[in-house]
Every structure is written in C-alpha cells, then in structure tokens.
Amino acid sequence: MTAGGRGGLAAALEQVGQRWALLVIAELLDGAQRYGDLQRSLGVPTNILATRLKELQEAGVVVRVPMSHNVLAYELTDRGRGLAGAIAELARWGEPAEQP
Amino acid sequence: MTAGGRGGLAAALEQVGQRWALLVIAELLDGAQRYGDLQRSLGVPTNILATRLKELQEAGVVVRVPMSHNVLAYELTDRGRGLAGAIAELARWGEPAEQP
DNA sequence: CTGCATCCGGAATGATACTG
DNA sequence: CAGTATCATTCCGGATGCAG
C-alpha cells in the first residue's frame, strides 16, 4: 500500500500548510524560542501565532516547555524536526539564483 | 550573505505556499496534464485551479503547452521540477507511520 | 512585561452557475 | 473542455484589551 505520496502530501499540508506554520517551525529549528521572540523575529500577528502554536501542538510538531517560573518556551518535537529536510529544500528552491 | 533560509523559505511560500499549489505541482510531476484531468484527480474547485495555474505560470513554475490542435495541457518547467525533492520530503513526512 | 484572547475589515477559498 | 462570474464562508492581519 504505497500511499504514493498524494495522500501523504495532502496530510502534511493539512498540518503544516497554513500560513506562517513552516516559518515558525523553521525558526524553532535553531532551538527553542519564546512567544515574544517568535513574534518579533518573524513579524507574525499575535493572534495568528497563538493559533498556529496551538494547532502545531495538537499535531505533535511543537511542545510547550517551561523554563524558569513565569517563563516558557516552544520547542520542536522529533516529529517536528522531521520537517528539517523539506524546509531546507523549500528554502534552497526559494533563494534567488546565484551564479558562481 | 548566506540568505540562510528564512528569506528563501518565505520567498518559496509566496510562490507555492497557497492552497492546492503544491498538490497541483505534485500531480504535474507525473507528466503534463490537462485542465479537466487536474480538476478531477485533485478535486480542486475550478476557480481556484484557474487562479493557481495563472499564478504558477507567472512564477515560472508551470507552462501551458499545446498538444494537438484544440487540445492543450499544463507542464512543469525546470524550475517547477526543482520542487520534486521538497514535495517528496513533505509527502513522506505526512504519510501515516506504518508498523509491519 | 509576557502570553495570549477578542473584535473587525479585508483577502483568500469554496460551491455553483454560466459562457465561448 | 476550459475556463469566467458570482456569492457565501472561512482565513488572515492589525489593533486593542486583559490576565498572570
């Protein structure tokens, strides 16, 4: 039953195909970040960021980890880090063509 | 100036991050297809498909190629085929975990 | 001060009817 | 067959409010 890919791709896009989702994950690939840091470094609206982080947690891509008391951060799960390859490919594809 | 990836990723998502865009491209990876074929195999609304195909042409990802007289099809450009890796990674990530 | 929730206008999406 | 036109629904984005 090789799902072929169409189904897998559709499933992937349902989980991380929303606007800003892959950008948030790409930021978290550099390490855990706090809410405000993600907001400032990405320039994403606060309501969208809150919604995405909630959805990504339900998808098992991101987890909320407490640091010191009163301070918490968001971190990728193993499943979330599994997107590193796809993100790298997309990023390389999107880079302006450079002639050596 | 290693564009790093954030910029490249954002640029990629602006071109192929819209809904259905990557699914259309994935279908075209199997070879050129006609409008009605894409519509039926993907189940995408006709107005969305028309819009995406127009945008993907402007992005240089897809070209409209005439076949026999009165029949035309959509085909990926080299740039479009450059997304094969990213799509394969996403599809594999989205596949349900299979335990043998 | 950080981490969200709410409200609202505008853009994107989807279902369907219509045209060359 | 290959789209375009129209309208309802949903999503997104910016401003703002509010609790811990």
In terms of CA atoms, which chain B residue is nearest residue A88? B5
Inform me whether the pLDDT recorded for B6 exceeds 90. Answer: no
Q: Which one is predicted more confidently, B70 or A31?
A: A31
Distance CA B4, CA B25 (A): 25
Question: Kind and range of the H or E element at B68?
Answer: none
Query: How many Å apart are CA A84 and CA A79, to the nearest integer?
Result: 10
The beta-carbon neighbor of B22 closest among A13, A15, A88 is: A13
Calculate ∠ Cα B20-B21-B23, nearest 5°: 65
Domain for residue B2, yes or no? no
Residue B55: inside a domain: yes
Q: Which residues of chain B make contact with A12, given a CB cutoff of 8 A?
A: 90-91, 93-94
Write out pLDDT tens, residues A25-74: 999 999 999 999 999 999 999 999 999 999 999 999 999 999 887 789 99
pLDDT tens sequence across B46-59: 999 999 999 999 99
The SS3 of residue A1 is coil
CATH code for the domain in which residue A69 is found: 1.10.10.10
Neighbouring CB atoms inside 10 A of B64's CB total 13
User: Which residue range is the domain that position B60 belongs to?
Assistant: 14-89
Round the average pLDDT of chain A to a whole number and report it: 92
The answer to whether residue B87 neighbours chain A at the CB level (below 8 Å) is yes
> Does residue A28 fall inside a structural domain?
yes
Residue B78 CA to residue B8 CA, distance in Å, equals 18
Is the pLDDT at A3 greater than 60, yes or no? no
Q: Is the pLDDT of residue B2 over 50?
A: no
Q: Is residue A15's beta carbon less than 7 angstroms from any atom in nucleic acid strand D?
A: no
E strand or H helix that includes residue A58: helix A46-58
Domain assignment present for residue A95? The answer is no
Q: Do B89 and A94 touch (CB under 8 A)?
A: no
Categorize the per-residue pLDDT at A99 as very low, low, confident or very high, splitting at 50, 70 and 90. Answer: low
Average of pLDDT values for B49-75?
95
Q: Taking the model in full, what pTM does it have?
A: 0.92
